[in-house]
Amino acid sequence: MVKKWGWLLAIAVGVGAIYVYQRFGTATVTVTSEPAGALVWIDGLRVGQTPLQGQPVKSGKHLVTLEHSWYADNERQINVQIGDHITHHAVLQAGTGTLVLQSNPRGAWVELNGQRQDFVTPARLTADSGVYTIVMGATELRPVTKEVVLADEETVEVNLDLNPAPYGSLTLQGLPAGATVELVGAESPYKPGVRLPVGKLTVRVNRPGYAPVEERIMISGGENVHRVNLARLYGILRVNWEPATAEVFVSAPGIARQRYREPMRLPTGSVEIRARAQGYQRALRRVTLAESGATVTLQLQPIRVTPGAHVRDALKSGGQGPDMVIIPAGDFRMGSDRGSATEKPVHGVKLLFPFAMSVTEVTVAQYLTFARATGRKVDKRVDAGAGDHAMGYVSWDDAVAYAHWLSAQTGATYRLPTEVEWEYAARAGSQSTWYFGDDARSICAHGNVADRSAWNLYREWDTVDCDDGMVRPGPVGRFAANAFGLKDVYGNVSEWVLDCDLPGYSRAPAVAADPEEDAGCETHGFRGGSWDSAPPDANSFHRASTSSVSDDRGIRLVREL
């Protein structure tokens, strides 16, 4: 019995010893990683992959290394004691490798994991290690896709052959001017003859004032011509105005200005309404006409001005605009029977509205203030130090831009004069060749023209037998004014007007038309002659037009009242 209990005690002691040794006499390491699936090496011996649970190790120091297909190796030294149970978790970092991308033919675009790159093949780039879906393509070639794994410190070469894809051209007909075309999903924007892949394509066409069109069309190989018809949309415009004697005119893109009639059916979109009545300020309103129509009310305000009074507007940026003098409304005889064919026939014109006109031509200093404020380019031949001289070397566009800037700076409406306004203001009630009479030799008291001083330098010129003391453009305001208070009407620099070219006088209206600014002309008119003009070209009725820039063309402005 004693012997039996002895054996049982021995077995228990053995089992306990084994447990104590396994529990406290060994150490274990559990290894996890993010992402999982990394190979685990301990002291250079591969022992499994993550997650690795309870790997036995001896006490002491151990080097744990994790390897993954496309992440940088992760190493960590651990120190364990008998009985330790250590957990090691590693967040793996992407490594870097090299992609060498080539295509046949060269010049293909490249997408990496859905992102279009800013280079074409061939290309070599350093990239984070990982899995890449590579797509290469080119115009009229089929895109090709390949997936590669880029390991840390590895170079992977990808060379794809691109095969031709079926393409056709597309030209749309029947589009109204200004229509926008969207080719849904196409890589190329629309233009006549655009090349597109064969297959179905959605085309959207829009233009303000028209019903939009969306069509599904088939692109086949070769040339495709498709007609798109946009239906014009219309609305009813109603206008109310005071005073009842006012004339009302309406215009819209593609529709010339015409007298308003009630009610008026017009294409939808931008519509301009103008009203005028003698003794009242002009009214201008722009509206967007919808299919539901629009109603506009115009209340013209009386004009209360004193002819001969001066107006000078303050500029928002500091300083003042040009000195302007008020010219009264009235009528006159325009043209001359003694002039060229373009100046005939003489005809009566009535101006319904007073206006202000700059006393002198715009000076170099005044124009440079505008140019510096707006960044507008100035001809390098302009002498910036001659601030009080008449500005030359300006185009018609330059002159219009200066007037627009003054309008924005002052809140008033500045513009170039019309031919009618210029000649009416220049004549100042006269019917003679010049406002001072018909004797050309008197012009030197009134303007800087081609005279004796000019003849001394330019002997071949036609000149007048008097001397104004100047040759080239000079300071403004040095000569006598006309009856309206305008100076330098003749000579110095000729002055741009709004009008296109030289419209004939045979059908000229008896009432001066409202001014229209048309930049789409081949030439624009200029008046008054310049420093190099003989008297026949520097008078009240002489007309000329050009599109060129010269030192003998400048600016005189009108300010609406």
pLDDT tops 90 at residue 135? yes
pLDDT (average), residues 217-237: 94
**C-alpha separations of 397 from 78, 415, 422, 498 in Å:** 81, 11, 18, 10
Residue 465: predicted pLDDT: 87
Identify the residue with better confidence: 7 or 75: 75
Q: How does DSSP assign 516-541, residue by residue?
A: ---TT-S-EEEES--TT--GGGSSSS
Which of 191, 123, 190 has its CA nearest to residue 157? 123
CATH topology agreement for domains 25-91 and 234-299:
yes
Q: Are strands 115-120 and 109-112 parallel, antiparallel or unpaired?
A: antiparallel
pTM of the model: 0.62
Q: Partners of 235 in the beta sheet? A: 266
- Domain 234-299: CATH superfamily is Immunoglobulins (2.60.40.10)
What pLDDT, in 10s, does the model give residues 139-149? Answer: 889 899 999 99
pLDDT (average), residues 331-345: 93
What pLDDT, in 10s, does the model give residues 394-449? Answer: 999 999 999 999 999 999 999 999 999 999 999 999 999 999 999 999 999 999 99
Residue 24: predicted pLDDT: 46
Residue 137: predicted pLDDT: 93
pLDDT (average), residues 501-523: 89
> Average pLDDT, whole number, for the chain?
91
Which of 467, 480, 517, 475 has its CA nearest to residue 493? 475
Q: How does DSSP assign 175-198, residue by residue?
A: PPTT-EEEEET-SSPP-TTEEEES
Question: What does residue 443 show for φ and ψ, rounded to 5 degrees?
Answer: -65, -25
Dihedral angle computed from the Cα positions of residues 273, 501, 483 and 479, in that order, rounded to the nearest 10 degrees: 130
Which of 212, 215, 269 has its CA nearest to residue 237? 269
Would you place residue 3 in the very low, low, confident or very high pLDDT band (cuts 50, 70, 90)? low
Domain ranges of the chain: 25-91, 96-161, 167-227, 234-299, 310-560
Q: How far apart are CA 550 and CA 455, in angstroms?
A: 20
Instruction: State percent of the chain over pLDDT 70.
Output: 96
Residue 152: predicted pLDDT: 87
Residue 25: predicted pLDDT: 54
Residue 8: predicted pLDDT: 56
Residue 469: predicted pLDDT: 87
Residue 331: predicted pLDDT: 95
Would you place residue 22 in the very low, low, confident or very high pLDDT band (cuts 50, 70, 90)? very low
Which of 297, 542, 261, 515 has its CA nearest to residue 413? 515
Would you place residue 455 in the very low, low, confident or very high pLDDT band (cuts 50, 70, 90)? confident
Q: How does DSSP assign 85-126, residue by residue?
A: EEEEEEE--B-EEEEEEEEESS--EEEETTEEEEEESSEEEE
25-91 to CATH, choices 3.30.1340.30, 3.10.20.30, 2.40.110.10, 2.60.40.10 = 2.60.40.10
Which of 508, 509, 472, 506 has its CA nearest to residue 492? 472
Q: How far apart are CA 533 and CA 182, in angstroms?
A: 55
Would you place residue 11 in the very low, low, confident or very high pLDDT band (cuts 50, 70, 90)? low
Q: Which helix (H) or strand (E) holds 496?
A: strand 494-500
pLDDT (average), residues 330-359: 94
pLDDT (average), residues 242-251: 94
pLDDT tops 70 at residue 14? no
What pLDDT, in 10s, does the model give residues 461-510? Answer: 888 888 888 888 999 999 999 999 999 999 999 999 999 999 999 989 99
pLDDT tops 80 at residue 237? yes
Instruction: State percent of the chain over pLDDT 90.
Output: 78
**C-alpha separations of 13 from 2, 8, 9, 26 in Å:** 17, 9, 6, 19
Residue 7: predicted pLDDT: 56
Question: What does residue 278 show for φ and ψ, rounded to 5 degrees?
Answer: -60, 135
Q: How far apart are CA 355 and CA 425, in angstroms?
A: 10
pLDDT (average), residues 279-299: 93
Identify the residue with better confidence: 15 or 396: 396
Q: Which helix (H) or strand (E) holds 127?
A: strand 123-128
Q: What angle do CA 190, 191, 195 make, to 5 degrees?
A: 75
pLDDT (average), residues 348-362: 96
Which of 480, 470, 463 has its CA nearest to residue 533? 463
Would you place residue 348 in the very low, low, confident or very high pLDDT band (cuts 50, 70, 90)? very high
What pLDDT, in 10s, does the model give residues 52-103? Answer: 999 999 999 999 999 988 888 899 999 999 889 999 999 998 889 999 999 9
CATH of domain 96-161: 2.60.40.10
pLDDT (average), residues 526-536: 92
Q: What angle do CA 362, 365, 370 make, to 5 degrees?
A: 80
Identify the residue with better confidence: 254 or 558: 558
Would you place residue 312 in the very low, low, confident or very high pLDDT band (cuts 50, 70, 90)? very high
Residue 468: predicted pLDDT: 86
Counting every residue, how long is the chain? 561
pLDDT (average), residues 296-312: 94
Yes or no: say if 71 and 93 are a contact pair by the CB < 8 Å rule.
Answer: yes
The number of beta carbons lying within 10 Å of the beta carbon of residue 538 is 28
Residue 263: predicted pLDDT: 86
What pLDDT, in 10s, does the model give residues 371-409? Answer: 999 999 999 999 999 999 999 999 999 999 999 999 999
Would you place residue 20 in the very low, low, confident or very high pLDDT band (cuts 50, 70, 90)? very low
Q: Which fold has domain 310-560?
A: paralog of FGE (formylglycine-generating enzyme) (3.90.1580)
Highest mean pLDDT among 254-268, 481-495, 519-533: 481-495
Would you place residue 517 in the very low, low, confident or very high pLDDT band (cuts 50, 70, 90)? confident
